[in-house]
């Protein structure tokens, strides 16, 4: 199974950017031009690693002052409920939240939202024999 992270950046109802990442990948944000998503936005960090994608999953890296929203089967989660519920682990660089396939949510900075969805892609094998195509999921 292959995974990908779909990101959409919105300001109010307007789309600012959209991107798709496949592991291994590091997605950084900030006002610094070294960031993958470099935007000159008020309240945006200078440089912050937001996502790390690995072949077996990923991490959302956030600071407690960031507004994080996550949609789970148990219901919507916010920065406070994620930390208090033990869903994220504290580290030297902030909090680390494991994200599995099917996870979706947003990180907000004022009216700017970085929306994400972690998707599992179905792989299939295609054989071409004597001009006929055979698909195996």
Which pLDDT band, with edges at 50, 70 and 90, does 47 fall under?
very high
**Domain-wise residue ranges, the chain:** 2-136
CB 134 within 8 A of CB 19: no
Segment (H or E) for 84: helix 79-84
Among 9-13, 37-41, 88-92, 132-136, the minimum mean pLDDT is found in 132-136
Average pLDDT of the chain is: 88
pLDDT tens digit string along 63-97?
999 999 999 877 899 999 999 999 999 999 899 99
The answer to whether 11 and 112 are in contact (CB under 8 A) is: yes
Fold of 2-136: Tumour Suppressor Smad4 (2.60.200)
Instruction: With a cut of 70, say whether residue 127 has pLDDT above it.
Output: no
pLDDT above 60 for 61: yes
């Amino acid at each position: 199974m292959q995974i990908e992270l779909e990101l959409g950046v919105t300001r109010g109802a307007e789309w600012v950017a959209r991107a798709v990442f496949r592991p291994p990948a590091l997605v950084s944000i900030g006002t610094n031009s070294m960031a993958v998503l470099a935007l000159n936005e008020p309240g945006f960090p200078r440089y912050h690693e937001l996502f790390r994608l690995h072949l077996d999953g990923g991490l959302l890296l956030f600071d407690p002052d960031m507004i994080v929203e996550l949609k789970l089967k148990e219901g919507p989660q916010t920065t406070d409920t994620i930390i208090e519920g033990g869903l994220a682990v504290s580290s030297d660089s902030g909090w680390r939240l494991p994200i599995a396939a099917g996870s979706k949510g947003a990180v907000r900075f004022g009216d700017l939202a970085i929306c994400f969805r972690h998707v599992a892609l179905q792989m299939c094998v295609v054989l071409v024999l004597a001009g006929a195509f055979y698909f195996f999921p």
